[in-house]
Chain A
C-alpha cells in the first residue's frame, strides 16, 4: 500500500515536471518563431530594415551601446538618478500632504473639487510649461518628475488615513487610547499597504515623466538617446534602448514587489510565517518563558 502511494506521488511530480518543461519549450518556440519570422521578413525586404530593425541588428546595437561604445551607462545613470531623487521627493511630499489632509475633514472637503480637477488633468502635460519656466537642465526635470509622481501617493495616503476600520476605532476608544496612539498604532500601520501600492504607481510615473522631459530637452538620458537614434533612423539602437527600459521596468516591478513583501509583510503568507518565527525567537532570546 505504502509503496503504491510513494510511487504515485513520484509519478505525479514527474508528470508536473514534464508539463512544465513542455510549456517552457512552447514558450521558447513561439518566441523564436516570432524572432525568426521578423528576421526573415526583414532580409526578404518585406519589412523595410530602415524602419523595422532586424533582431540581429538590435542585438548588434546592444553590443555597441553597452560594451563597445558603452555610452548607455552614462545616460542610464543620468536618467535614473533624477528618477529616484524625484520619486522620493515627490512621494514624501505626497504622503505628508496626504496625511495632513486626511486628518482634517474640513480641509478635505474644500480640497475635493481641486483634487478632482487635478486628477482629470494629465499631469505630465505640464512638462513644457515647467521647462519653459525653470529653464533647461536638471531642475525642471526634477520638478516634472516630482509633479507626476506626487499624485498617487497623495491620493492613496489620503484614502488610507480616512478609511479606517470602524470596529477597530471603537476598540481603541474602548481602551481609552489617545489620539496619538490611534494614529501610531492603528491609522499608520493600516495605511501602509495602500501607500505602498501608491508608491509603485509613483515610480512608474516618475520614469515616464523623466522620459518626457528628456524628449523635450534632448540633452541627456535614455529618453534623449531614443529620440536622437530615431531621428537618425538608427532604429536598431533605439530599440535596444527601449528594451533596456523594459528590463529596467521589470527590475522596478520586482523591486517594488520585494519591498512590499518586506514592509507590508502581514499581507503575505510567507511574510507572516517569517516574521512570526522572528518574533518567537526574539522572545525566546529575552525571556525565561519557554
Chain B
C-alpha cells in the first residue's frame, strides 16, 4: 500500500479510497470516518481492530455490498457502485448450500454468469484440490467439518478468477490449529494466484502473520489509525511468530490500539 501522503499516481494501485465515510441510522452512527488508502497489485493488507472499528464496514464498501456516505472507492480505476466480477468476497460463515455437493457449491458463482462448461468443472475441481479437498468434491456440507466448509468457501472465492480478494474474518469461528493451517494455505494460494488481498480480523497475530501491511483501526468513531509495514520474508512459517521482529510488530499494533 502507498501511504496517503505520497501523492504520486501509481499505475500499480488497484484499490483506492479517498475520505471514505459511512454512517448508519440517519447519521447517528458513524461506522467509518475519513478512510484514505491506496493498495498496490499483489499486496496482502490486513485490517485489524476491536469490534466497531469499521473494518468490516470498510470491506463491505470495497466489495460494493454497501455504498459510502461520503468519499469514493475505486477498483481498477473505476468507482465501485455495486458487487463486481473483479472483486470476490468471503464471509465469516461458509454459507454453503446444503443441497449441493462441495463441487457444485464451488461452481455457484460461475453458474450466475453462464452455462457451465467442462472447463469450468475441471477448474472447480482443481481449486478443490488446491485447498486440499479433492476427495471430498462430492460430499455434502453436512458431511464436512467447519474447517473443511471454510475451505470449500475459499475455493468458491477463487472460482470467479477475480484478482481482488476480500475476506471478512473467515477463520474466526475455527479452532486455533485449523486456523493456523488455513492461514498457511491462504498465503500459499494467494501467492500462486497472484491476487490482491484485503483480510479483516480481530486477531493481531493473524493480521501480522499474513500481511504485507497491517492497517490498525480504532473505534468510536471507526477510523484508520496507523499503517504498519510488515517486512518479514516470504514464504512465512508459523515459527516466525516467536521471533523478535514479529513481536515488535505486535507491540506496535497494541500500542496504537491502546493510544486511543
Enumerate chain A interface residues (CB-CB to B < 8 A): 165, 167-168, 170-171, 173-178, 181, 185-186, 189-190, 192, 264-266, 269, 272, 275-277, 279-280, 283, 286-289
Chain B, residues 153-196, CB within 8 Å of chain A (1/0): the string is 00000001000000000000000000000000000000000000
CA distance A174 to B86 in the complex (A): 11
Nearest CB to that of A193 among chain B residues? B99
Asked if B142 contacts A167 (CB within 8 A), the reply is: no
Asked if B89 contacts A283 (CB within 8 A), the reply is: no
Task: Tell which of B28-36, B44-52, B104-112, B250-258 binds the partner.
Answer: B104-112
Asked if A266 contacts B98 (CB within 8 A), the reply is: yes
Chain A residues positioned under 8 Å from B82 (CB to CB): 176
Chain B residues positioned under 8 Å from A165 (CB to CB): 95
Task: Tell which of B12-20, B117-125, B202-210 binds the partner.
Answer: B117-125
Chain A residues positioned under 8 Å from B143 (CB to CB): 269, 272, 276
A276 in contact with B139 given A167-B93, A287-B121, A289-B122 (CB within 8 Å): yes
Which of B85, B97, B112, B118 is within 8 Å of A189, CB to CB? B97
Asked if B99 contacts A174 (CB within 8 A), the reply is: no
What's the nearest-Cβ distance from chain B to residue A261, in Å? 14
**Which B43-70 residues sit within 8 Å CB-CB of chain A?**
63, 65
Nearest CB to that of B126 among chain A residues? A289
Q: Is B140 an interface residue (CB 8 A)?
A: yes
Nearest CB to that of A166 among chain B residues? B95
Chain B residues positioned under 8 Å from A264 (CB to CB): 99
What's the nearest-Cβ distance from chain A to residue B29, in Å? 20
Enumerate chain B interface residues (CB-CB to A < 8 A): 63, 65, 82-85, 89, 91, 93, 95, 97-99, 101, 103-104, 108-109, 111-112, 118, 121-122, 125, 137-140, 142-143, 160
Asked if B97 contacts A280 (CB within 8 A), the reply is: no
Asked if A168 contacts B121 (CB within 8 A), the reply is: no
Asked if B142 contacts A176 (CB within 8 A), the reply is: no
Which of A175, A277, A288 is within 8 Å of B112, CB to CB? A175
Asked if A178 contacts B112 (CB within 8 A), the reply is: yes
- List of 10 A-B pairs having minimum Cβ-Cβ separation, nearest first: A280-B138, A272-B140, A266-B99, A167-B95, A276-B138, A189-B99, A176-B83, A177-B112, A171-B95, A279-B138
Which of B89, B93, B142 is within 8 Å of A272, CB to CB? B142
Contacts A170-B65, A283-B137 aside, 13 further interface pairs with beta carbons under 8 A come to A171-B95, A173-B83, A174-B65, A174-B89, A176-B84, A176-B85, A185-B111, A272-B139, A272-B143, A279-B101, A280-B138, A283-B121, A289-B125
Asked if B65 contacts A266 (CB within 8 A), the reply is: no
CA distance A167 to B85 in the complex (A): 20
What's the nearest-Cβ distance from chain A to residue B161, in Å? 13
CA distance A171 to B118 in the complex (A): 24
Chain B residues positioned under 8 Å from A272 (CB to CB): 139-140, 142-143
Chain A residues positioned under 8 Å from B84 (CB to CB): 176
CA distance A173 to B95 in the complex (A): 13
Chain A residues positioned under 8 Å from B95 (CB to CB): 165, 167-168, 170-171
What's the nearest-Cβ distance from chain A to residue B187, in Å? 23
Asked if A174 contacts B101 (CB within 8 A), the reply is: no
* Listed residue (B63, B82, B103, B112) with the most chain A CB atoms within 10 angstroms of its CB: B112
What's the nearest-Cβ distance from chain B to residue A267, in Å? 8
Chain A residues positioned under 8 Å from B101 (CB to CB): 275-276, 279
Chain B residues positioned under 8 Å from A178 (CB to CB): 112
Chain A residues positioned under 8 Å from B99 (CB to CB): 189-190, 192, 264-266
A-B contact pairs, 14 of them (CB 8 A): A167-B95, A174-B83, A174-B89, A175-B109, A185-B97, A190-B99, A265-B99, A276-B143, A279-B101, A279-B103, A283-B121, A283-B137, A286-B118, A289-B122
Nearest CB to that of A181 among chain B residues? B112
CA distance A27 to B122 in the complex (A): 56
CA distance A287 to B121 in the complex (A): 9
Chain B residues positioned under 8 Å from A266 (CB to CB): 98-99, 140, 142
CA distance A165 to B91 in the complex (A): 14
What's the nearest-Cβ distance from chain A to residue B116, in Å? 12
